[in-house]
Structures are given as structure tokens and as C-alpha cells.
């Protein structure tokens, strides 16, 4: 039988191996926020099975569920049958876009990145009061959220790097465009080329980024292979910071939220904790942590396309912050910071920071 869709060729066996046990329902953030089985991983796999059986079409009716997945991979992590749902979802979204069915928010994002340099279509980048594109040992790559939505954590990260006397430069960066692959489109070659050219021009041996998604894109995607060929290493700032001492401490109760892109997708769990333990005497874990961490609800394009549910997912995560009585919740992803901070209720007195911003604040206070 000839496959009608590309996802089928690659993932047919896996989709059929979904035994419908429903164990994903226990961890799916979208299900947790909506209690709607059609939005859970099992619901999605069942729909794909019916698509492969020719019972239903891969059309607009499926957008609401297939484009509503944060690709947090908690289902994959808990699946007895080993079904890699996030990868399947990404492949299906590409088929849907080819078939003319796409969530308008993502069509919009794709168009924006045709014409603009970032997902917010903002053409006046913040300069963060730094000289850009100079020769340096390191490039600091900010990412769209850090550049245009969470500029305070970014400024703090840069201040911290200055305090630690790191020789870095910013570049006239553009969106890495990795997210487009998640939502049915492709990485924009011209954006990738521009980033790579700017990075290589600085002569830096290492790119440090505060964005776990840019980190994954640079390290994993074919379009960025020229960086790897040139021997340029790309690290997340949490990996970079773990070898530093900061000489400051807080006695506030601190907890840590694992971003899905850094945790389940890259296995980076201990580096941020090592750093946090250096500065926090009262560090506590939330009930769901490391590979079991609840998603903040922002990923996979869900924040843009399904804002209400995205916030509901973040609220569920923040309930755990309350449960452990933390005053500070740290994380390593600006998207997580953004969504968690937006979802925080007025009565919730804890504060949400990126780890770098928090350390920088402690150092600033100590000076």
C-alpha cells in the first residue's frame, strides 16, 4: 500500500504500537489542563491510526488537537510502547501544511519569518547597550523571546557574564527558526546562513545561548551543520556557568523548573542544580522534577495558538511551586520564564527568574 502521507512512511509502525493504554494521560499537560481525551497523546495517535486506515482525512478538523501539543515529550518518556509522539506530531504537522491544513497562528509565523528577522516581526532590536559583532572568545546568542519579550533576564545574563569577565560579543542575530519545523514548516535557510556567518566572523570558538530551543537547533539541525564543521561549540548558559563560583548566597527557599527542551529533550538536569546549590542553602524539588517535570505550557507553538490552555498548564506547574513553599522559582528558558510569570496569580508571592538573572541580582546586592 502506498502511503498518502510522509508521516506514515516513517512512523506507521510506531503509531500502531500505541496500545491505547492511556498512560500518557497521566502526564500530558494539555490533557491535564483540559481533561479532554482527544487532546492527549493517545487521542492524537488514534486519529492518526484512522487517517492511515483511510477512515478520516488529515484535514482542518484535526488542527485543534494536532497543533495543540507542547512537544514536551512527557508522553514519550512514559509510554510503555515507546511511541515518540513529539516527533510524530512534528512530521504530521508538515504533512498537514502540505495538504493545506494549518493553524493560522503558525501560517502567520512562517510568513513573518519570510519577511522579518524574528517571530515577533519587530524590526528594531534592543541593543542591550553592548557593542555587537566584535571579535571575541564567545558569542552570546539571545533568541527571540530573550530579545523581544524577556529583555530583563537577558540584560541580567549579560551583566552576569561581564561580572564573570567573560569575553563575549552579541551579534545581529536573527531567529534560529528551529520552531518552524515543530509547527509544520522548515527552517529558513537564509536566517540560518545569516546566523552562521555572523557567528563565524567573530572568530568565537563557542556560542553560549540562554535559549534551550536555539541550543537544540544549532546542535541538531542539518541547516546549522556548518557551525559544527567549523568546530564551533554551542552550549547552553547553564552548562557554561556550572564551573564558576559566585560568592553569593540566598537563604530564600528556591526551586527549579526543568524546561522540556533542556531536560527531557537534552538530558540536562544536573548542571542547573549544581549551580543553584552553590547559591541557595534551601533548595527544594517540586514533586514532578527532572524527566517527570510538568511542562510550562509554552512549547510547540501552543502559547501562540492556544493561549488560554497554555496559561492553564503554567498554572498547574505553579501549584507545585506553592506546594513546596518556594519563594523563588528558577528556570533556564526564557519561554518558561515568560509563561510562568504571565500565569502567576496575584496571591502567589513567589518570584519567577531565570537562574542567571537571579544570580546577577544576588551579586548586584552584594556589591
Q: How far is the CB of 296 from another protein (least distance, A)?
A: 21
Q: Is 323 a binder of another protein (CB under 8 A)?
A: no
* CA distance to 12, 23, 291, 292, per residue, from 78 (Å): 20, 7, 10, 9
Cβ(350)–Cβ(328) under 8 Å? yes
Helix axes 307-323, 334-343, angle to 10 degrees: 80
Pair type for strands 138-141 and 168-169: parallel
Cβ(133)–Cβ(201) under 8 Å? yes
Helix (H) or strand (E) holding 252: strand 250-257
Residues 265-294 that bind another protein (CB under 8 A): none
Q: How far is the CB of 90 from another protein (least distance, A)?
A: 19
Measure the CA–CA gap between 3 and 89, rounded to whole angstroms.
17
Measure the CA–CA gap between 363 and 367, rounded to whole angstroms.
6
Q: Is 43 a binder of another protein (CB under 8 A)?
A: yes
Measure the CA–CA gap between 241 and 243, rounded to whole angstroms.
5
Q: Is 108 a binder of another protein (CB under 8 A)?
A: no
Q: How far is the CB of 211 from another protein (least distance, A)?
A: 32
Closer CB to another protein, 45 or 183, in the complex? 45
* CA distance to 101, 227, 264, 322, per residue, from 219 (Å): 30, 9, 16, 35
Among 5, 30, 42, 297, binds another protein (CB under 8 A): 42
Q: Is 50 a binder of another protein (CB under 8 A)?
A: yes
**What number of CA atoms fall less than 13 Å from residue 90's CA on the CB side?**
18
Q: Write out the E strands in 95-232.
A: 138-141, 168-169, 206-209
Q: How far is the CB of 19 from another protein (least distance, A)?
A: 5
Residue 303 phi, psi (nearest 5): -60, -40
Measure the CA–CA gap between 254 and 276, rounded to whole angstroms.
8
Query: Taking contact as CB under 8 A, which single stretch among the options 10-18, 184-192, 211-219, 236-244 is the one that binds another protein?
Result: 10-18
Pair type for strands 250-257 and 328-331: parallel
Closer CB to another protein, 79 or 109, in the complex? 79
Per DSSP, 294 falls in state: P
Residue 73: all three cell numbers together: 515529550
Among 3, 9, 61, 267, binds another protein (CB under 8 A): 61
Closer CB to another protein, 36 or 221, in the complex? 36
How many residues in the shown chain lie near another protein by CB under 8 A?
29
Q: How far is the CB of 48 from another protein (least distance, A)?
A: 10
Closer CB to another protein, 40 or 238, in the complex? 40
Among 33, 58, 62, 286, binds another protein (CB under 8 A): 62
Among 3, 6, 9, 80, binds another protein (CB under 8 A): 80
Q: Write out the E strands in the chain.
A: 138-141, 168-169, 206-209, 233-236, 250-257, 280-284, 328-331, 351-354
Closer CB to another protein, 62 or 294, in the complex? 62
Q: Which residues are within 8 A (CB) of 14 and not within 5 positions of it... i.e. 6 or more apart?
A: 82, 83, 84, 88
Q: Is 64 a binder of another protein (CB under 8 A)?
A: yes
Q: Is 102 a binder of another protein (CB under 8 A)?
A: no
Q: Is 16 a binder of another protein (CB under 8 A)?
A: yes
Query: Taking contact as CB under 8 A, which single stretch among the options 39-47, 131-139, 169-177, 257-265 is the one that binds another protein?
Result: 39-47
Q: How far is the CB of 259 from another protein (least distance, A)?
A: 23
Q: How far is the CB of 254 from another protein (least distance, A)?
A: 24
Q: How far is the CB of 163 from another protein (least distance, A)?
A: 42
Binding interface with another protein (CB under 8 A): 13, 16-17, 19-23, 25-26, 35-40, 42-43, 46-47, 50, 56, 61-62, 64-65, 80-82
Amino acid at each position: 500500500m502506498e502511503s498518502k502521507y510522509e508521516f506514515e512512511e516513517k512512523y506507521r509502525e510506531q503509531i500502531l504500537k500505541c496500545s491505547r493504554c492511556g498512560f500518557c494521560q497521566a502526564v500530558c499537560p494539555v490533557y491535564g489542563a483540559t481533561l479532554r481525551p482527544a487532546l492527549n497523546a493517545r487521542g492524537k495517535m488514534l486519529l492518526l491510526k484512522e487517517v492511515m486506515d483511510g477512515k478520516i482525512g488529515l484535514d482542518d478538523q484535526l488542527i485543534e488537537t494536532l497543533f495543540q501539543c507542547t512537544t514536551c515529550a512527557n508522553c514519550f518518556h512514559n509510554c510503555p510502547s515507546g511511541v515518540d509522539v513529539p516527533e510524530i506530531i512534528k512530521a504530521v504537522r508538515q504533512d498537514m501544511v502540505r495538504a493545506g491544513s494549518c493553524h493560522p497562528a503558525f501560517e502567520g509565523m512562517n510568513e513573518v519569518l519570510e519577511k522579518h528577522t524574528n517571530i515577533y516581526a519587530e524590526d528594531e532590536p534592543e541593543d542591550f547597550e553592548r557593542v555587537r559583532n566584535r571579535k571575541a572568545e564567545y558569542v552570546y546568542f539571545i533568541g527571540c523571546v530573550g530579545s523581544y519579550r524577556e529583555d530583563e533576564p537577558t540584560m541580567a545574563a549579560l551583566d552576569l557574564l561581564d561580572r564573570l569577565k567573560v569575553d563575549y560579543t552579541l551579534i545581529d542575530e536573527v531567529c534560529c527558526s528551529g520552531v518552524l519545523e515543530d509547527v509544520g514548516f522548515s527552517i529558513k535557510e537564509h536566517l540560518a546562513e545569516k546566523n552562521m556567518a555572523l557567528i563565524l566572523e567573530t572568530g568565537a570558538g563557542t556560542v553560549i545561548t540562554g535559549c534551550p530551543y536555539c541550543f537544540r537547533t544549532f546542535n541538531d539541525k542539518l541547516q546549522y551543520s556548518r557551525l559544527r564543521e567549523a568546530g564551533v561549540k554551542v552550549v547552553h548558559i547553564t552548562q557554561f556557568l556550572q564551573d564558576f563560583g559566585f560568592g553569593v548566597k540566598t537563604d530564600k527557599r528556591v526551586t527549579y523548573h526543568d524546561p522540556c527542551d533542556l531536560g527531557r529533550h537534552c538530558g540536562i538536569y544536573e548542571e542547573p542544580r549544581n549551580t543553584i546549590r552553590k547559591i541557595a542553602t534551601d533548595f527544594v524539588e517540586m514533586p514532578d522534577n527532572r524527566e517527570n517535570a510538568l511542562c510550562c505550557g509554552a512549547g510547540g507553538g501552543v502559547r501562540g495558538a492556544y493561549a488560554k490552555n497554555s496559561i492553564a498548564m503554567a498554572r498547574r506547574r505553579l501549584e507545585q511551586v506553592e506546594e513546596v513553599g518556594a519563594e523563588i522559582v528558577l528556570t533556564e528558558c526564557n519561554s518558561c520564564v515568560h509563561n510562568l510569570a504571565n500565569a502567576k496569580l496575584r496571591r502567589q508571592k513567589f518570584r519567577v527568574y531565570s537562574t542567571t538573572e537571579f544570580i546577577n541580582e544576588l551579586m548586584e546586592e552584594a556589591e
